Every structure is written in structure tokens, then in C-alpha cells.
């Protein structure tokens, strides 16, 4: 991934229009990790846009729930990289009900696998939207 899991924090957010993958450097002055995180998440957004979900399949040694539908509904899902303080975010945005369900399945799996303690309920919208 290019950055250390020991010096960074992951969050996975379920949102009304999709969700978000967020990673931040734990140290507020750790510009090297921040830049590595941003580079990685920018790359992930592009890979997901192209229907390539190999990174999460490699990390978890399985096809995460939601991925098959996210691939088939790819034209109905936007993956947008956003820099945030100390890191970055991939906003996953859709107006398609089936794609939304798949995104939420995928992010819930990530919450469980990474043990982030993030809410498994849909929260308020953040960042970029399609509106």
C-alpha cells in the first residue's frame, strides 16, 4: 500500500448516497504518510472506476461482499478521491438502489475485517455528492 498500518487509521462510512473509505496518518505532522495515503487512495479510486477490485480481494484473500454487484453496476457508481487533513478519502457515490446496497455490503465487510468500530448504520452525507 505504500504506508504503514501501524501509523495510520482507516474508517469506512456508510452514507445515504454510498459511502467513504478514509485513511489518515496518526501523526498530525507526518507528511510522508499523509502523501503516501493520498497517492494510494487516488490509485484505488481509479482502479475501482475501472472495475478493478484486486486490492481488497488480495488483502482479505476473498471477494468482499458487494464486489460482484459493484462491478456489474460500475457505470452507476462514481469513485472520487478527496484529500482530507492528514490523509485522504475515496467517496463512493451512486443513485442506483442495487449499487447502493452493494456499496453498503462492501463497506460493512471492511468495517468488520479492519475492526474499525465504525457505525454499521447509514450516517449523514460528507464530501462530494452527485447533487
Q: Over the stretch 106-118, which tens digit does the pLDDT of each residue have?
A: 999 999 998 999 9
Whether 125 is covered by a domain: the verdict is: no
Asked if residue 3 is part of any domain, the answer here is: no
d(CA 49, CA 42): 11
The per-residue pLDDT for 124 is: 79
The whole-number pLDDT of residue 123 equals: 86
| Res 75: pLDDT | 96
CB 4 within 8 A of CB 111: no
Q: Please indicate, yes or no, if residue 39 is contained in any of the structural domains.
A: yes
Residue-number span of the structural domain to which 109 is assigned? 8-114
Q: Identify the pLDDT of residue 92.
A: 98
| Residues with pLDDT less than 50, the chain | 131
pLDDT number for residue 100:
98
For residue 100, being part of any structural domain is answered with yes
Grid cell 448516497 is found at: 17
* Residue 128 in domain: no
* The pLDDT value given to residue 129: 66
Q: How many residues appear in the chain?
A: 131
Number of domains in the chain: 1
Query: What is each CA distance from 124 to 12, 55, 74, 79, 119, in whole angstroms?
Result: 13, 27, 24, 18, 11
Please indicate, yes or no, if residue 58 is contained in any of the structural domains.
yes
Amino acid at each position: 500500500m505504500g504506508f504503514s498500518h501501524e501509523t495510520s487509521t482507516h474508517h469506512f462510512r456508510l452514507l445515504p448516497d454510498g459511502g467513504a473509505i478514509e485513511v489518515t496518518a496518526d501523526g498530525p505532522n507526518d507528511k510522508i504518510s499523509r502523501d503516501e495515503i493520498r497517492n494510494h487512495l487516488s490509485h484505488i479510486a481509479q482502479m475501482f472506476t475501472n472495475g478493478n477490485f484486486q486490492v481488497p480481494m488480495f488483502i482479505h484473500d476473498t471477494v468482499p461482499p458487494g464486489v460482484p454487484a459493484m462491478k456489474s453496476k460500475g457505470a452507476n457508481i462514481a469513485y472520487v478521491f478527496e484529500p482530507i487533513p492528514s490523509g485522504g478519502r475515496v467517496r463512493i457515490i451512486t443513485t442506483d438502489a442495487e449499487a447502493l446496497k452493494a456499496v453498503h455490503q462492501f463497506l460493512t465487510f471492511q468495517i468488520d475485517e479492519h475492526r474499525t468500530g465504525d457505525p454499521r448504520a447509514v450516517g449523514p452525507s460528507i464530501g462530494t455528492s452527485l447533487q
